[in-house]
Amino acid sequence: MKAWMIDALGRHRLRLGDVEQPEPRPREVLVRVANVSLNYRDLLVLEGTMGSGRAFPFVPGSDLAGTVVACGEGTSRFRPGDRVMSTYVPGWIDGRQLGSAANPNGMTLGGPLPGVLAEFVSLPEDWLVGAPGSLSDAEASTLPIAGVTAWFSLIEEGGLRAGQTVLVQGTGGVALFGIQIAKAHGARVIVTSSDDGKLARAKALGADIGIRRDGDWVKALIEATDGHGADHVLEIAGGSNLGKSVEAAAVGGQIAVIGIIEGLDLAAPAFPLLLKQVVVRGIFVAPRRAAEDFVRALDAINLKPVIDRRYPLAALPEALAHLERGPFGKIVIDVAE
Amino acid sequence: MKAWMIDALGRHRLRLGDVEQPEPRPREVLVRVANVSLNYRDLLVLEGTMGSGRAFPFVPGSDLAGTVVACGEGTSRFRPGDRVMSTYVPGWIDGRQLGSAANPNGMTLGGPLPGVLAEFVSLPEDWLVGAPGSLSDAEASTLPIAGVTAWFSLIEEGGLRAGQTVLVQGTGGVALFGIQIAKAHGARVIVTSSDDGKLARAKALGADIGIRRDGDWVKALIEATDGHGADHVLEIAGGSNLGKSVEAAAVGGQIAVIGIIEGLDLAAPAFPLLLKQVVVRGIFVAPRRAAEDFVRALDAINLKPVIDRRYPLAALPEALAHLERGPFGKIVIDVAE
Amino acid sequence: MKAWMIDALGRHRLRLGDVEQPEPRPREVLVRVANVSLNYRDLLVLEGTMGSGRAFPFVPGSDLAGTVVACGEGTSRFRPGDRVMSTYVPGWIDGRQLGSAANPNGMTLGGPLPGVLAEFVSLPEDWLVGAPGSLSDAEASTLPIAGVTAWFSLIEEGGLRAGQTVLVQGTGGVALFGIQIAKAHGARVIVTSSDDGKLARAKALGADIGIRRDGDWVKALIEATDGHGADHVLEIAGGSNLGKSVEAAAVGGQIAVIGIIEGLDLAAPAFPLLLKQVVVRGIFVAPRRAAEDFVRALDAINLKPVIDRRYPLAALPEALAHLERGPFGKIVIDVAE
Amino acid sequence: MKAWMIDALGRHRLRLGDVEQPEPRPREVLVRVANVSLNYRDLLVLEGTMGSGRAFPFVPGSDLAGTVVACGEGTSRFRPGDRVMSTYVPGWIDGRQLGSAANPNGMTLGGPLPGVLAEFVSLPEDWLVGAPGSLSDAEASTLPIAGVTAWFSLIEEGGLRAGQTVLVQGTGGVALFGIQIAKAHGARVIVTSSDDGKLARAKALGADIGIRRDGDWVKALIEATDGHGADHVLEIAGGSNLGKSVEAAAVGGQIAVIGIIEGLDLAAPAFPLLLKQVVVRGIFVAPRRAAEDFVRALDAINLKPVIDRRYPLAALPEALAHLERGPFGKIVIDVAE
């Protein structure tokens, strides 16, 4: 079967190789991969910024949707023919995240654990979730990281309610899920971007207000909310942008720190954090149970993930280049013909 | 009556003046002040770093304990003879803090609102709480900021439970309350200081482990907890120390940002925040209801606040100098003879 | 001015009298009442089942919308011309409900406190909330009890999320708000009624599934949810119906006990409560802050309350008779011409 | 090896038989049982009131402490020599309980699943928790049901804080753990019993107030708390006693329904539940993660479980008779010599 892989760090080393199709071991199921969606972290993993500890040859990719084709001994959750999607943090079923201060758990699919950009993968059945019946495989492949992260941040950890204001930064995968999920719960959504065209598309998707990122967006947001501020922030940029998010937050506002695009070092002023009792929360996707609840929600609210463009398996390099330029929503690889 | 005041910014301008004794207006009660405890913010308010908007002559001081001596028209919560203590954020009774993103609420007693370093003060009855029967006035005067902050951070917002590990930074007023409150709930307490004598005294007060702040205290903490890390952190230093607190935090650890001694700009690395799902929470003392619950707790658990030293009213400058050097616990002014 | 009143217990004693128009005392505002919506409790108060402690002549009615026409001394929250609505539990601003085990707080507007079925009322400004700009006065008058109860139960206490299943019992005021609020958050709604016509109208309003109350509705509900059960229940019937709600609840399901139509004595089987970790919560409307958040939500989601019928002021007896027969939604009195 | 078993329902059918020692299958560990503690449910399971679905011959008993003596293939959590204790609801690791409305999960150790009153048991390693280093095997054997239930109810679900009032009904296993756990968190504890001697022993254990159950204990409790009522109730009796617990609850009080000694049908008045916003919560022990946190707490707070009496393995019938009469704390069987 075909699989993308690298034999050493470096995106330029990616090669589409032929490898033996895996067999499901006990408690594993064999999945024929239909689609893989890309995430910004795939770029970081290929270059070594994330995913340290991987073994070579290394297959990248974290998010799959596909169909179970065989079940190993001792499996019970799935049967051949079931449509499934992956989860990002294997073994985190529900409740508290794994790991400790001495050993924070970063064992995730697609780096350092082997990834899914292959025609077949065999995974422990506990690492999979049934795909939503209301979505295609391409759409379902966008959920495991981007969709679940927006859901867990805003809804489960944030407790979002109708009438609250949500600030979504940018128009990438998590951001667009944030817009859609927040609107489906009756919130008012403000999106920031440095591209007028993307702001217009975000508004067409449901965002109430678009603000240019390159101006004083904090002031604009506070004015647009009659002084109230943002009850929820999806902090996708990171770095010192966190400080602006703290300034923009409402009293009791909650900031979900998700992204690191602007840097690995967060910075923020103390006074507004204190006076407004702002909460800043590190988010590392979510436990499997949250993905299952999200799937149930998707089927109920008819939310369709936004795919900017689909690429054939052979065009992974072009797809990654598109990802790097900043898509509007998700980039998806068609693994199966 | 006597009152400390400044006519312009600057601690050196403090003068003990004679002013007319106030009369209680409608809904106010007149309090004979027995004791006032000092807080690090008093230094900042006198110099202008905090409390902007004050009117001169300005009376400093936020924390009082005393006795109601007269009740204005329309009062019902207190009667003459009742022992009371102040609350720091007037009007915040319960639930969500006041203010908005456009106007964060910093209207606090002792700057910008007039303070309590006077023999009598007349305050709206809603701004007061009954003092705990188990404490003296000097002890009760230490509660409104330091005690209530530690209580609200660890117990109400943090949900502290027996068996969890609490990191308390330093040995000032909030820190020692943190040790005592955490121990009263069965937690394991780690305290950091750069003074071996203070570490020894903190352990005598109940702390389980003392760690030198001037070494690699994060590593020492992680080892001392068998890798687990700190479930709760009272972040009293602020600035870039927050980053160390994030490193020291357990999975799901909660950091209450309270202090700004090391700087107004918080900084922390993103990866451990994300991987461990750490929560960072701005704390601005607490609503009045929390002070009332804390008073009930104090009477139940027999916790005695630690007063490093008491000074007579005339010795406020010496008391402030002691505060600046870093006391072990609280500094209290004896206002009444 | 005109006001409805009784001089002794008994609905048949209602009379539309002429009384002096009130003047706003300090901290009060005078409100010209536009509309009053009726609640099932009005019937109980008039007969003495609820509201003990009232003074005669007693004016019934709890829910008003109207316009501020004059402001007493010391007011600051409203100005003449502001549109307002009442709150049901005066003095409960935010956080924990008032009262104690010895004295549970039942001091509510419209019994035992004087009610609002009058052309003008003067109320402490703290007892009022700004009415939503997106609703008419007649619509706004339906919010203080029925709307706020459904909001607080499902959203604030229940933490409702998209994809969850909500069981709404009946098609009265709280029930229809429950349907609308739940749908606005992406939930799946099941409604029960013994009237096929009302089930059809509830589905037209957004309910996903209608089930006849007179059959084995628990079994029907469990089947309709593929065995999952109801994540949230608005328990409007009370009495032994609670037992059926417990049987119908999902694992971790939450039941908000709101109504007492079927009896004052709740009964339920222990085993399903234990095995499914069901939570049963007494709901007594909500604090004012919740009403304010609900108003903000209403303006965001364009929810229009369902008014079955409006009656002129003089027709209160006919309106109460309609209420007793069981309306579809709310009954509203036009107080102003 | 020896094991107690029944071949058909009925406590009189218990026999101490000789059966083959089990071998650990994949993912299982073999445990040499040191002690088994008894629970009231053991009586119900033997008679058929609980545990339906069991296979005969059936070995009763849910709570074990012992030592791992062999590890099956694919195990990683334990090594031979590790001291362990059982968990009551196998497979419930963290977060939401298993099962659904159609199939509530009652698959518990000791009925319907085979129990642990045997010299050796082989169990999936996921069903076990490391025993606390500070407790003996006999003490550790009391934790899985009684200790964990009290912990989860008061601390995890209830969020108990110092200064709150806890009502513990009776002096059985869960009740005494409730007293000890509540005191370790600074609460004030009220215990009810119809036996003055047991009240005295409960007070010696830390309870602040003892009230006779056979008088008007609700009135006595309200007076003893100056009208406040109980913030937390361990509802161990069940049946119509729940109604008294609701009357005794404080505003916002939380009632954990645990026991069914007084009947399977819960009953309570609606008005106090509503006015005080009381929360009633079904408790079915807890997930494994809670047991692990409780073990950590035990090691921190030096809590020693109260064992009324220990019996040799052969004396199970006498031990069950003692249990039926109502012990003070736990009854423990010494399985190993």
CA B88 – CA C112 distance, rounded (Å): 35
- What pLDDT does residue B134 have? 97
pLDDT above 80 (res D112): yes
Average pLDDT over residues A206-229: 97
Taking the C-alpha atoms of residue A177 and residue A148, their distance in angstroms, rounded to an integer, is: 9
Where do runs of H (alpha helix) occur along chain A? Answer: 40-47, 137-140, 148-151, 173-184, 196-204, 217-224, 241-248, 270-275, 288-301, 316-325
> For residue D305, which phi and psi values (nearest 5 degrees)?
-60, 150
Q: Do C287 and B93 touch (CB under 8 A)?
A: no
Q: What are the chain C neighbours of B26 within 8 Å (beta carbons)?
A: 26
Residue type, A201: R
Size of interface A-C (CB pairs under 8 A): 62
Does the CB of D268 have a partner CB in chain C at under 8 Å?
yes
Query: For residues D168-183, b (16+ Cβ closer than 10 Å) or e, as one string?
Result: bbbbbbbbbbbbbbbb
Q: Closest partner residue to B300 among D155, D162, D300, by Cβ?
A: D162
pLDDT of residue D123: 98
**Cα B252 to Cα D13: distance, rounded to the nearest angstrom:** 50
* D121-130 average pLDDT score: 98
- CA-nearest of C129, C187, C190, C132 to C154 is C187
Q: Which chains touch B (3 or more CB pairs under 8 A)?
A: A, C, D
Give dist(CA D323, CA D310) in Å, integer. 11
The H-or-E segment that residue C66 falls in is strand C63-71
Residues sharing a CB contact under 8 Å with residue A253, sequence separation 6 or more, in sequence order: A229, A230, A231, A232, A233, A276, A278, A279, B101
Q: Which of residues 74-103 of C touch B (CB under 8 A)?
A: 93-96
Q: How far is CA B66 from CA B29, B36, B37, C100, D130, in A?
A: 12, 9, 12, 27, 52
DSSP three-state, residue D91? coil
Furthest-apart CA pair in chain B: how many Å? 61
Percent of chain A exceeding pLDDT 90 equals 96
- pLDDT of residue C5 exceeding 80, the answer is yes
Task: Indicate yes or no: CB of B185 within 8 angstroms of CB of D159.
Answer: no
CB within 8 A of D102, min separation 6: which ones? C222, C227, C228, C229
User: Which B positions 238-257 lie with beta carbon below 8 A of chain A?
Assistant: 238, 247-253, 257
- Stretch A37-63: mean pLDDT: 94
Neighbours of chain C (3+ CB pairs under 8 A): A, B, D
Closest residue, chain D, to B161 (C-alpha): D155
User: Could you tell me how far CA A164 lies from the centroid of its own chain?
Assistant: 23
CA angle C8, C14, C19 (to 5 degrees): 90
Residue C91 pLDDT class (50, 70, 90 cuts):
very high
Task: Answer whether 0.95 is exceeded by the pTM.
Answer: yes
Of C91, C72, C82, C79, the C-alpha closest to C22 is C72
- Candidates A159, A188, A300; nearest CB to C186: A300
C185 vs A156, A162, A299: nearest CB? A162
Nearest to B101 among A249, A267, A284 (CB): A249
The β-bridge partners of A331 are A309
Mutate to test the interface with A, among C157, C161, C294 (most CBs of A within 10 A): C161
Residues composing chain C: 337
Which of B26, B96, B289 minimises the CB distance to C289?
Answer: B96
Distance from CA of B93 to the nearest CA of C (A): 8
CB–CB contact B93 C94 (8 Å):
yes
- Chain C neighbors of D269, CB-CB under 8 A: 264-266
| Of A217, A260, A105, the residue nearest B268 (C-alpha) | A260
Q: Any CB–CB contact under 8 A between A166 and chain B?
A: no
Does residue D262 register a pLDDT over 90? no
Taking the C-alpha atoms of residue B202 and residue A293, their distance in angstroms, rounded to an integer, is 47
Tens digits of residue pLDDT in D127-138 = 999 999 999 999
Q: Which residues contact C204 (CB under 8 A, 6 or more apart)?
A: none
Which residues of chain D make contact with C286, given a CB cutoff of 8 A? none
Strand extents, DSSP E, chain D: 2-5, 15-18, 28-37, 63-71, 83-86, 120-124, 128-130, 165-169, 188-193, 209-212, 230-235, 249-257, 265-269, 279-282, 307-312, 330-334
Query: Phi and psi of B112, rounded to 5°?
Result: -75, -20
The CATH code of domain D2-142+305-334 reads 3.90.180.10
- Cβ distance of B163 and D300 shorter than 8 Å: yes
Residue D221, number of CB atoms within 10 A of its CB: 25
The pLDDT tens digits for A111-141 are: 999 999 999 999 999 999 999 999 999 999 9
The predicted pLDDT at position A259 comes to 83
Q: Do C265 and D264 touch (CB under 8 A)?
A: no
C180 to chain A, closest Cα gap in Å: 11
Residue A20: Cβ-neighbour burial (10 angstroms; 0-12, 13-18, 19+) = exposed
Measure the CA–CA gap between B19 and D121, rounded to whole angstroms.
Answer: 82
Chain A interface, best mutation among C156, C185, C254, C302, by max A CB count within 10 A: C185
Main-chain phi, psi angles of C162, to 5 degrees: -55, 145
Q: Which residues of D touch A93 (CB under 8 A)?
A: 93-95
Q: For residue D337, what pLDDT is reported?
A: 75
Are β-strands B63-71 and B120-124 bridged in parallel, bridged antiparallel, or unpaired? unpaired
Do the Cβ atoms of A269 and B271 come within 8 Å? no
The confidence score (pLDDT) of residue C51 equals: 87
> pLDDT averaged over chain D?
97
Q: How far apart are CA A63 and CA D58, in angstroms?
A: 46
**Nearest residue on chain C to B95, alpha-carbon basis:** C95
- pLDDT over 90 (residue D52): no
pLDDT of A247 > 80? The answer is yes
Number of other CB atoms surrounding residue C64 within 10 Å: 31
DSSP state of A8: S
CA distance A183 to A191: 12
Asked if D93's CB is within 8 angstroms of A289's CB, the reply is no
Interface probe with C: pick from A129, A161, A188, A289, most Cβ of C within 10 Å: A161
D297 touches chain B (CB under 8 A): yes
Bridge-based pairing of strands C230-235 and B188-193 is unpaired
Q: Which of C44, C275, C279 should we substitute to test contact with D (largest number of D Cβ atoms within 10 Å)? A: C275
pLDDT for residue A337 is more than 80: no
Give per-10-residue mean pLDDT for chain B (337 aa). 97 97 97 98 94 93 98 97 98 96 96 97 98 98 98 98 97 98 98 97 98 96 98 95 98 94 91 97 97 97 96 98 97 94
| CA A133 to chain CA centroid, nearest Å | 20
Identify the band that residue C161 occupies on the pLDDT scale cut at 50, 70 and 90: very high
Of D74, D95, D287, the CB nearest to A287: D95
CATH 3.40.50.720 domain position(s) in chain B: 147-282
Per-residue model confidence (pLDDT) at position C259: 83
Per-residue pLDDT tens digits for C273-309: 999 999 999 999 999 999 999 999 999 998 999 999 9
Q: What's the confidence (pLDDT) of residue D263?
A: 83
- Tokens standing for residue B185: 């709930």
Cβ-defined contact of D281 to C276 (cutoff 8 Å): no
From chain B, pick out residues whose CB is under 8 angstroms from the CB of A253.
101
CB of D12 less than 8 A from some CB of C: no
pLDDT at A39 over 90: yes
CB contact under 8 A, A161 and C161: no
Give the pLDDT confidence score for residue D83 in this predicted structure.
Answer: 98
Q: Is D296 on the interface with B (CB under 8 A)?
A: yes
Classify D284 as helix, strand or coil: coil
CB-based contact B27:B74 (threshold 8 Å): yes
Query: Measured between CA atoms, how close is C105 to chain B, in angstroms?
Result: 17
Show which of residues 14-53 on chain D sit within 8 Å of chain A, judged by CB atoms. 26
Omega cis (within 30) before A57: yes
Interface of D with B in 200-229 (CB under 8 A): none
Residue ranges, CATH 3.90.180.10, chain B: 2-142+305-334
CATH topology of domain B147-282: Rossmann fold (3.40.50)
Nearest CA-CA distance, residue C227 and chain D, Å: 5
State the first-to-last Cα distance of chain B, in angstroms, to the nearest integer: 13
pLDDT of residue C52: 86
Q: Is C319 on the interface with D (CB under 8 A)?
A: no
